[in-house]
Amino acid sequence: MAATPYCAAVFLDRDGVINQPVIIDNKPYPPKSLQEFVLIPGVSEALAALKEAGFFLSVVTNQPDVGRGTTDKKEVESIHAHMREVLPLDDIRVCYDDGRQVNSNNRKPNPGMILDASHEFSLDLTRSFMIGDRWRDIEAGLNAGCKTIFIDYHYDEALPRSPDYVVGSLREAATLILDLIKISY
């Protein structure tokens, strides 16, 4: 679905924002198959509320395990097909780079996936948000010029720069965004 010209967007990381990650040594990892994919409670309702408010919804996700050969690309694509069926998403963008490529503009923390979506769908990044649970998500959003919302699960990693907002879930992030747009209009 195409966005209206200069539409505001909500960019979302996948694992830890939309679905439950697999936690190993206090670090999150993606599910390896659709059978392991579990939506976080409240995600469907949060996305529906953002969609109803007029936001373009785009998932931007690094999936480096495909590049490393430890996860099958078909499994990732089946997860995304399922997400498109059950969630009101407009766009899903994936970077399969394993982190060893030089100058990969799409691998977060680089903003390539966000910038590409912005150009393709005429999105206004100054009115848009990036929601993530890892430092790479926040950096990608800041690098693209979006407001950033960090879902803090207290993982064992530091944030290089502070996000604009910190919440405990996507549901809280959606409520915050909806409150902010009420204030600005």
Three-state secondary structure of 18-87: CECCEEECCEEECCCCHHHCCECCCHHHHHHHHHHCCCEEEEEEECHHHHHCCCCHHHHHHHHHHHHHHC
Q: Which of 15, 65, 91, 137 is catalytic?
A: 15
Q: Which of 13, 65, 90, 97 is catalytic?
A: 13
**Within a 13 Å sphere around the CA of 99, how many CA atoms are in the beta-carbon half?**
9
13 is catalytic: yes
Tokens of 117: 């979506």
179 is catalytic: no
Active site residues: 13, 15
